Amino acid sequence: MAIKLIRLSNILKNVGKNFNIIKVGLTNCYLLKSDSCNILIDTGYKGKAKIILDYLETNGINAKSIKLIILTHGHYDHIGNAIELKKVTGAKILIHKNELPLLRSGVTDSQSTKPLNIWGKILLSKISSIDTTFEEIKPDIIIESEFDLNSYGIKGRIISTPGHSKGSISIILDSGDAFIGDLGMNGLPLRIGPGEPIFGEDISEIYKSWDKLVKNKAKSVYPSHGESFDIEVIKKILSTKGLS
């Protein structure tokens, strides 16, 4: 019952927002909506494109209205359906330059990421046993720093937020809604509450990127795994660590 109420309150929290959450297993994908087109953030695990396409159909959204697919980073649980969705939608695929090595087929998550705590170590050993292969991706737009989304009718921008991976990016809307990929995580089975990702390249880079979110006026944080949380969570952890 309590969980249902939390879910309901999270759904209500997003009413009136100019984006939708599409849950693809444990990965949240987000659909940013403008008058002219739509943008999809992340694509979930391989073989799950149908979940996204069904979602679009159920909600009366033309798949061809998606003009851009932003990959927050190159891990298999975010890029798995990028090729298939590109074929259906005709959208361009955008990713940061530093993720290009991860887009080669055959790279596994356990090769591309490190555990940042003991639970991450245990989960990573489980992931190693599942099929994380994907079709090689050749992105259309490769960014190195910022990217303005105004040309897609979205008031917001992409900023570089490394730490979870070298080329992780975040999308910050002018409204303060921030889509951060795996720069933070929330909820089981990854964490009990919101906070640091349990996998990553460099925890000190993660904290620097968190500070960047704060400086770029993020208010509500939408991670790829787990429910959204307030930027105050991040501010509090940074201040506890003497980093703000």
Looking at the Cβ atoms of 182 and 205, the one nearer to Zn ion is: 182
Looking at the Cβ atoms of 42 and 67, the one nearer to Zn ion is: 42
| Binding of residue 77 to Zn ion (CB under 5 A) | yes
Q: What is the per-residue binding string for Zn ion in 27-46, x denoting contact by CB under 5 A?
A: --------------------
| Binding of residue 191 to Zn ion (CB under 5 A) | no
Looking at the Cβ atoms of 67 and 191, the one nearer to Zn ion is: 191
* Region of residue 195 (left: phi > 0; alpha: psi -120 to 50; beta: else): left
Smallest distance, Å, CB 51 to Zn ion? 16
Exactly one of 46, 48, 67, 75 binds Zn ion (CB under 5 A); that residue is: 75
Exactly one of 42, 99, 182, 227 binds Zn ion (CB under 5 A); that residue is: 182
Query: How many residues interact with Zn ion (rule CB under 5 A)?
Result: 3
Smallest distance, Å, CB 184 to Zn ion? 11
Q: Which residues here bind Zn ion, judged by CB under 5 A?
A: 75, 77, 182
